[in-house]
Homo-oligomer: A and B are copies of this chain.
Amino acid sequence: MTARPDGLRARRTRKLLRDALIELIEERGFDRITVNRLTERAMVSRAAFYRAYRDKYHLVEQVFEEALDVLVAAVAEDDCVDTRVERWIGFFEHVGEYRRLYGALLGDRGSPWFAAKMRATLERTVAGHFPDPAADTLTPALVAAMFVQAITWWLENDRPVSEREIALRTIRVSAALLADAGIGRPING
């Protein structure tokens, strides 16, 4: 746990716990998960669990953050092509790939904690592209909340529209929001 060993066994233990976590969140919601059931489902001993994580919050935090890292990386990717739009389509593609995780954590059985964490992460990403981030903290917060809501809606309704469409619609609204705040090329400019 402290040293986070990267041997096959340790990685496997973490993977099994991750998968079990997502399954159980889907089935019963995060609150009703116990370490006992988690380890039983994952076919891992409780001792191994505590070797890898402090408690179930630590586990879910790690899992969620890993996913968010990949997500932010996908959006922030500094390719030469001038296609901000493509990046946000990539964003929703990532969400689609990890839909079980995001759906479980952001959905009814999840916990407000995750939505808040995701909002904060996106907020930082958005603010990072502002000329003077300290000047306006409201706008990034609103944009971030919008994106989280877009994801939630998209997943709860079983992705009724394509990645491209949901991305375009969300960008359009956020562009209006940013224009109102007096910001020119707002996202990933």
A residues contacting B by CB (< 8 A) are: 8, 11-12, 15-16, 43-45
Contact = CB atoms under 8 A, between A and B. Distances in A.
The oligomer's copy count stands at 2
Nearest to A15: B43
Nearest to A39: B8
A49 B53 CA distance: 28
Contacts of A8: 43-45
A110 to B, nearest CB: 27
A80 to B, nearest CB: 35
A15 to B, nearest CB: 7
A44 B9 CA distance: 8
Nearest to A40: B8
